[in-house]
Structure 1
């Protein structure tokens, strides 16, 4: 279900981003060092991990995702199971 959505992640430490990309390979990761905003084109869900990300990048990602009516999830969690549960809770209504 979630793999049919375009989900992007911004923020979090490099090691956290690596773990999330291994656990959820269908998610696009916007790296902290190489912030390519074009990965947000036609995004359905944007996850912003508020750890290790500048306010400017957070705002830029938010603005673009918001303009596309994407679901935006803020988190400071590092536990991938908790993040998975949060994503599913938030995107489930998109399928109803």
Structure 2
């Protein structure tokens, strides 16, 4: 599939899409896990930079709190989408 590319970012994105399409399910799961681990690492480093005096226990608690907020936000977003779909079904 040849898609017009206006920027290098577009080219990189579509190259990654094509690469993902060729992956097996196991490879996608492995990469998803690696991305999650990397995001946790980056979140921890960001929290550490913002709060250099935190102990490891405090840092861990702050990370758990942030992950919980992200989870709540994502759950709420997913629920809104479901509610819209349900409303559309009822209206029809």
- Asked if these proteins are the same fold (TM beyond 0.5), I'd say no
* Relative contact order, higher structure (CA 8 A, sep 6+): 1
TM-score range, shorter chain: under 0.3
TM-score calculated relative to the size of structure 1: 0.27
Larger Rg, first or second structure (1 or 2):
2
Which structure shows the higher helix fraction?
2
> Scaled by the length of structure 2, what TM-score is found?
0.28
